[in-house]
């Protein structure tokens, strides 16, 4: 990733996404391959006066951990992590893999145990976010592995990421502020409605969001961003959804997912590939068969799937639904150790809000 774009991204993250102030505690979590971006953000955050605490993981450590750790170790949360969760003001997660399939042969039960054991910590972080006491943002540093998953060269993938993050704009901070203003109109509209009905050639589903908040994802929650989301009333989801975009979770690829909901719960599931893994995910805990999030992707600089949720859920002209934990900012109450985003194409779809057409062929009509 060219230095000029790293510097631009660092400025966007520090001064727009986080709006870091002098004296704030700021944690950066990243693998070593993302070191160039870590350095750029570290420098910019120090210049802003923040107290910066980087946590860097060496390549291969996660794989070793899940291979070797016993159940007690899988369930352990270090006191320093608990302190960060309770007392820091902001946190950046940088994803970057040298091998996106490194965990494919790890027993899914071990991964599930780890996630269940750390669910309370994640829920506490989301609670602090909802209270306005903590800001979190996630981004991705381009690597050959991610480029390969996307079917691109590294140079092409980097250019794709720059465009998605609006870093090719003369003033990226102003460009993201414009995104905020445009998406706020969508949020204001959706907040006035309750029942959402989504119809495509192979999807027909309804859900309700009355009393819940719609959130404007405008670069403050992830980078790139570009979505509006809420949490559905847990027992309100009914119908069938086909998720045409592949889903990659912990190195497990699941394709052509179809789910049928009744009174909020998944009662039928299908996948052309990875069905066993899909069903295991659905059976992980009591909340795994319910939706924790519903959203519309609005980033039209992203128009192709990459195999990474950070980008795919933002594709302009799509919606996504997340199985599992609600995001507390919305007022959702579904609890689960997981939150798994699945993407549905709406380029041939229609969306009705309380019976009125508001979205057609990949675009809002308001």
* Domain range annotation of the chain: 3-141, 172-364
Question: Which DSSP category does 366 fall into?
Answer: -
CA neighbours within 13 Å on the CB side: how many for 72? 0
Cross-strand bridge partners of residue 207: 196
* Residue located via tokens 């790139």: 224
Other Cβ atoms closer than 10 A to 121: 15
With a threshold of 0.85, does the pTM exceed it?
Answer: yes
H helix intervals, the chain: 3-12, 35-47, 61-68, 71-74, 79-87, 108-117, 119-130, 144-149, 154-164, 172-191, 275-282, 309-312
CA distance 297 to 81: 32
CA distance 273 to 238: 24
Residue 250, pLDDT score = 82
Nearest to 191 by CA among 330, 341, 365, 299: 330
What is the DSSP code string of 305-327?
Answer: --S-HHHHTTBTTEEEEEEEPPP
- How wide is the angle at C-alpha 317 spanned by C-alphas 311 and 321, nearest 5°? 65
- Using the predicted structure, report yes or no on whether residue 192 has a pLDDT greater than 70: yes
Kindly state the percentage of the chain with pLDDT values over 70: 99
Burial of 168 (0-12, 13-18, 19+ CB in 10 A): middle
Q: What is the mean pLDDT of residues 70-80?
A: 95
- How wide is the angle at C-alpha 87 spanned by C-alphas 94 and 285, nearest 5°? 65
pLDDT digits (tens, 9 = 90+) for 250-307: 888 999 999 999 999 999 999 999 999 999 999 989 999 999 999 999 999 999 999 8
Residue 126, pLDDT score = 87
Residue 1's pLDDT band, with cuts at 50, 70 and 90, is low
Q: What is the mean pLDDT of residues 80-89?
A: 95
> What CATH code is assigned to 3-141?
3.40.1830.10
Residue 120, pLDDT score = 87
Who wins on pLDDT, 46 or 122?
A: 46
Residue 9, pLDDT score = 98
Whether 224 and 310 have beta carbons less than 8 Å apart is answered as yes
Nearest to 145 by CA among 6, 308, 1: 308
Residue 353's pLDDT band, with cuts at 50, 70 and 90, is very high
Who wins on pLDDT, 292 or 104?
A: 292
Q: What is the mean pLDDT of residues 152-181?
A: 97
- Using the predicted structure, report yes or no on whether residue 130 has a pLDDT greater than 90: no
- Using the predicted structure, report yes or no on whether residue 207 has a pLDDT greater than 80: yes
pLDDT digits (tens, 9 = 90+) for 17-55: 999 999 999 999 999 999 999 999 999 999 999 999 999
């Amino acid at each position: 990733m060219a230095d000029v774009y790293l510097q631009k991204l660092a400025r966007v993250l520090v001064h727009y996404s986080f709006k870091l102030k002098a004296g704030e505690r700021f944690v950066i979590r990243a693998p070593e391959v993302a070191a160039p971006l870590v350095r750029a953000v570290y420098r910019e955050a120090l210049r802003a006066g923040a107290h910066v605490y980087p946590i860097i993981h060496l390549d291969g450590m996660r794989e070793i951990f899940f291979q070797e750790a016993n159940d007690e170790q899988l369930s352990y949360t270090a006191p320093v992590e608990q302190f960060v969760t309770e007392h820091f003001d902001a946190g950046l997660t940088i994803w970057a893999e040298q091998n996106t399939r490194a965990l494919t042969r790890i027993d899914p039960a071990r991964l599930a145990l780890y996630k269940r054991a750390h669910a309370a910590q994640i829920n506490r972080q989301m609670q602090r976010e909802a209270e306005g006491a903590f800001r979190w943002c996630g981004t991705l540093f381009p690597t050959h592995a991610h480029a390969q998953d996307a079917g691109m060269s590294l140079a092409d993938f980097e250019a794709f990421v720059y465009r998605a993050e609006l870093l090719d704009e003369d003033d990226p901070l102003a460009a993201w502020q414009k995104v905020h203003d445009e998406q706020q109109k969508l949020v204001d509209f959706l907040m006035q409605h309750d029942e959402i009905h989504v119809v495509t050639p192979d999807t027909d589903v309804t859900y309700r969001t009355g009393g819940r908040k719609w959130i404007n994802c405008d670069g403050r929650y992830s980078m790139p961003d570009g979505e509006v989301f809420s949490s559905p009333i847990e027992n309100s989801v009914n119908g069938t959804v086909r998720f045409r975009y592949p889903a990659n979770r912990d190195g497990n690829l699941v394709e052509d997912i179809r789910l049928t909901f009744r009174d909020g719960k998944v009662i039928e599931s299908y996948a052309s590939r990875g069905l066993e893994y899909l069903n295991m995910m659905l059976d992980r805990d009591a909340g795994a068969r319910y939706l924790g999030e519903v959203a519309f992707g609005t980033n039209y600089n992203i128009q192709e799937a990459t195999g990474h949720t950070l980008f795919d859920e933002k594709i302009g002209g799509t919606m996504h639904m997340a199985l599992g934990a609600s995001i507390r900012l919305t007022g959702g109450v579904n609890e689960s150790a997981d939150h798994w985003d699945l993407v549905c194409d709406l380029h041939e779809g229609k969306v009705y809000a309380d019976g009125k057409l508001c979205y057609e062929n990949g675009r809002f009509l308001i």
